[in-house]
């Protein structure tokens, strides 16, 4: 599409684009690309000082730029069409949707699917090959269930939710509308509940529920366990990466982002808008306050206050962690100084 058409579809005023200074600069845009892989006829974005210099060298036909007059001037001088945006990455995400839509099958039920007669299936549903849907399952309208999905009894699936191939939804799980469960994920399996006895470990039956509210996305091979009693709950619009373990009885708030290889032990309580970076581990029943950020590989053993940023194992305030890290790097030098001080005088 023409650059001007792209601007129109993104609902951007032309005075926030290069068209305001160069109306004839209206290249054909054939695709999208990251800034380090652009070719002619593609659009990319620049965000932050790290990539600003690429305006002078990029082959892109168009860029989404921050509201930086100097960068916009450089792009204009090189004949690059541009859009000014306060959040370039967000606008780029919207642009991607204009060039690419995920494959979505037409509604049908494959002949090899096994659906219990007591299951309820809504309108406009796709059910792929070798899907198994057991008794008491309720599936909303517009749901897409890809091949080899197994849904245990008494599960609820909300409207327009997508279950990708080979995921498993265990008994009595409740999944809201517009959720996405990626391949290999397991929702509502038994939590790790055992009671020590003189004879060994006694299995505590996991009779609770797992609830995913609307708009939750769960990555590949992630597991979310059900508890012995009560529920494990994931709040509205929370996004969970691949290979995450969420233990039984956890309560995760809305609009959280949980990166790969995070592990939550049983009973963890996570507030709203929390960010857990890769490989974070959180101990039993710890509480993470609203808006907190836990950086990569942090081990959380105690509660984290709302809005705090913590790092390290055990977790400490991020600024303190940076100071400690700087000292750690100087330990060999400090050790040599200490040895000199310890030498007997004379």
Question: Known catalytic residues?
Answer: 248
The Cα–Cα gap between 289 and 293 comes to 9
Cβ 129 vs Cβ 114: under 8 Å: no
Residue 240 in 3-state DSSP?
strand
Roughly how many angstroms between the first and final C-alpha of the chain, as a whole number?
Answer: 84
Question: Token pair for residue 338?
Answer: 């200490």
C-alpha pair distances (Å), 39 with each of 42, 60, 76, 236: 6, 6, 18, 38
Neighbouring residues of 52: CB distance < 8 A, sequence distance ≥ 6? 46, 68, 71
Query: What is the dihedral angle through the alpha carbons of 103, 129, 111, 154, rounded to the nearest 10 degrees?
Result: -100
Q: Which residues of 297-316 are buried (b: 16+ CB within 10 A; e: fewer)?
A: ebbbeeebeeebbbbbeebe
Nearest to 258 by CA among 275, 234, 280, 279: 275
Cβ 44 vs Cβ 34: under 8 Å: yes
Question: Token pair for residue 199?
Answer: 């004879």
Nearest to 18 by CA among 36, 30, 6: 6
């Amino acid at each position: 599409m023409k650059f001007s058409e792209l601007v129109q579809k993104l609902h951007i005023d032309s005075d926030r684009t290069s068209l305001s200074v160069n109306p004839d600069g209206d290249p054909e845009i054939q695709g999208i690309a990251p800034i380090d892989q652009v070719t002619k006829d593609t659009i990319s974005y620049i965000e932050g000082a790290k990539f600003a210099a690429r305006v002078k060298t990029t082959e892109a036909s168009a860029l989404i730029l921050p509201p930086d007059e100097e960068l916009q001037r450089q792009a204009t001088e090189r004949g690059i069409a541009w859009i000014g945006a306060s959040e370039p990455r967000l606008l780029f995400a919207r642009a991607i949707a204009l060039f690419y839509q995920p494959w979505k099958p037409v509604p049908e039920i494959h002949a090899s699917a096994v659906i219990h007669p007591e299951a309820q299936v809504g309108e406009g549903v796709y059910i792929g090959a070798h899907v198994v849907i057991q008794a008491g399952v309720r599936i909303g309208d517009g749901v897409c269930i890809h091949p080899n999905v197994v849904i245990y009894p008494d599960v609820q699936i909300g409207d327009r939710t997508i279950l990708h191939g080979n995921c498993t939804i265990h008994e009595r799980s409740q999944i809201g509308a517009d959720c996405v469960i990626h391949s290999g994920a397991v929702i509502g399996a038994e939590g790790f509940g055992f009671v020590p006895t003189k004879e060994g470990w006694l299995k505590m039956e996991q009779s609770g529920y797992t609830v995913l509210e609307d708009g939750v996305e769960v990555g590949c091979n992630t597991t979310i366990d059900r508890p012995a009693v009560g529920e494990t709950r994931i709040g509205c619009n929370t996004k969970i990466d691949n290979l995450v373990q969420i233990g039984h009885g956890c309560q995760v708030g809305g609009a959280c982002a949980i990166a790969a290889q995070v592990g939550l032990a049983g009973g963890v309580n996570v507030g709203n808008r929390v960010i857990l970076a890769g490989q974070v581990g959180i101990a039993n029943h710890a509480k993470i306050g609203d808006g907190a950020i836990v950086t990569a590989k942090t081990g959380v053993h105690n509660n984290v206050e709302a809005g705090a940023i913590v790092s390290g194992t055990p977790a400490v305030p991020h600024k303190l962690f940076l100071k400690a890290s700087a000292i750690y790097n100087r330990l060999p030098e400090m050790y040599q100084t200490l040895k000199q001080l310890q030498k007997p005088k004379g």
